[in-house]
């Protein structure tokens, strides 16, 4: 499957997480933003909530860890039931060791880059990862405007993935909506996180279907989309 749509529960009602997860059944993954009020200026949820959420939904959990000391915490989110764990390059002391540990524990390993962090220094790490996340807003809050100056970085990352012949996924997160998803897909993204565009819609499941259809119109013709 080329296109994946991952609703972000950051924009959901935290008092009704199980229902909100069910409202987007049909989505590929449920994106869970973990913030520690240090790596980003906001605080969300931790391991016990992820454990409960994993029991409450059949949709696999895509954890986005915006926390310091990712090396210590990321493995605990695999144990909590995450199917994919994304740590920030800026927060991991030993990203290769951490990616290997996440994979060894049975989850997909992914690395995120803040807007000011380039992909080039991480080229040699790509084979250790299942996904790269290019942030298209400054991490910390939902509902921010999409940074279109990130499009060249998405394109460059897709080129590096192709150059190395890898099957990995390329996720974008932040301001992804009907107005921006096609540009992300054209640049080479295939996994789309959408918070406010899904949970702000009258019918979240329908918003997921519409975003998927929009992205698929672009990826259907893309050479890189045929490789997975
Ligand atoms: O990681 C995030 C913020 O740091 C969120 O996943 C992201 O902002 C989703 O919200 P929206 O689609 O409304 O921008
Ligand atoms: Fe996120």
Contact yes or no for 222/161 (Cβ under 8 A): no
What CATH number does the domain containing 33 carry? Answer: 3.20.20.70
Contact yes or no for 31/52 (Cβ under 8 A): no
Q: Give the residue with greater pLDDT, 90 vs 219.
A: 90
Active site residues: 33, 173
30 lines ligand 1 (CB under 6 A): no
Per the prediction, the chain carries an average pLDDT of 96
Residue environment code for 130-159, b if the CB has 16+ CB neighbours within 10 A, otherwise e: bbbbbbbbebbbbeeebbeebbebbebbbe
Report the share of the chain in percent with pLDDT over 70.
97
Instruction: Name the residue with tokens 């192709």.
Output: 162
The number of residues in the chain equals 228
Please give the model's pTM, rounded to 2 decimal places: 0.97
Structure confidence by residue, pLDDT tens digits, 159-203: 999 999 999 999 999 999 999 999 999 999 999 999 999 999 999
Which residues, at least 6 apart from 221, have a Cβ–Cβ distance to it below 8 Å? none
Spatial separation of the C-alpha atoms in residues 102 and 108, rounded to whole Å: 7
Contact yes or no for 50/82 (Cβ under 8 A): yes
Strand locations in the chain, DSSP E? 4-7, 30-35, 61-66, 84-88, 108-113, 131-135, 169-173, 191-194
The predicted structure's pLDDT at residue 220: 83
In whole angstroms, how far apart are CA 106 and each of 77, 110, 115, 220?
11, 13, 29, 31
Total count of domains within the chain:
1
137 lines ligand 1 (CB under 6 A): yes
Tell me: pLDDT of 221 over 80.
no
Spatial separation of the C-alpha atoms in residues 128 and 140, rounded to whole Å: 26
Q: Residue 212's domain spans which residues? A: 4-227
Structure tokens at 71: 């090396």
Give the residue-averaged pLDDT of 35-50: 98
Q: Give the residue with greater pLDDT, 26 vs 99.
A: 99
Structure confidence by residue, pLDDT tens digits, 203-218: 999 999 999 999 999 9
The predicted structure's pLDDT at residue 226: 54
Q: Give the residue with greater pLDDT, 228 vs 210.
A: 210
CA of 102 to the centre of ligand 2 (A): 18
If you write DSSP's letter for every residue of 169-225 in order, what string do you get?
Answer: EEEEESS-STTTHHHHHHHT--EEEESHHHHTSSSHHHHHHHHHHHHHHHHTT-GGG
Structure confidence by residue, pLDDT tens digits, 69-84: 999 999 999 999 999 9
Pocket test for ligand 1, best of 9, 195, 211 (most atoms within 8 A of CB): 195
The predicted structure's pLDDT at residue 150: 98
């Amino acid at each position: 499957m080329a296109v994946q749509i991952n609703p972000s529960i950051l924009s959901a009602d935290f008092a009704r997480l199980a229902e909100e997860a069910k409202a987007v059944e049909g989505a590929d993954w449920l994106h869970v933003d973990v913030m520690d009020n240090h790596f980003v200026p906001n605080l969300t949820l931790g391991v016990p909530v992820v454990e409960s959420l994993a029991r409450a939904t059949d949709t696999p959990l895509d954890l986005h860890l915006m926390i310091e000391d990712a090396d210590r915490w990321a493995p605990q989110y695999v144990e909590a039931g995450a199917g994919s764990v994304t740590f920030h390059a800026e927060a991991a002391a030993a990203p290769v060791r951490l990616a290997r540990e996440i994979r060894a524990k049975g989850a997909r390993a992914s690395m995120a880059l803040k807007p000011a962090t380039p992909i080039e220094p991480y080229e040699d790490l790509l084979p250790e990862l299942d996904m790269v996340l290019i942030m298209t807003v400054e991490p910390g809050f939902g509902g921010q405007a999409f940074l279109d100056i990130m499009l060249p970085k998405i394109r460059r990352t897709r080129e590096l993935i192709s150059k190395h012949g890898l099957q990995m996924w390329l996720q974008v997160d932040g301001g992804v909506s009907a107005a921006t998803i096609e540009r992300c897909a054209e640049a080479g993204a295939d996994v789309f996180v959408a918070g406010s565009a899904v949970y702000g819609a009258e019918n979240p499941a329908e918003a997921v279907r519409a975003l998927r259809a929009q992205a698929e119109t672009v990826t259907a013709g893309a050479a890189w989309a045929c490789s997975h």
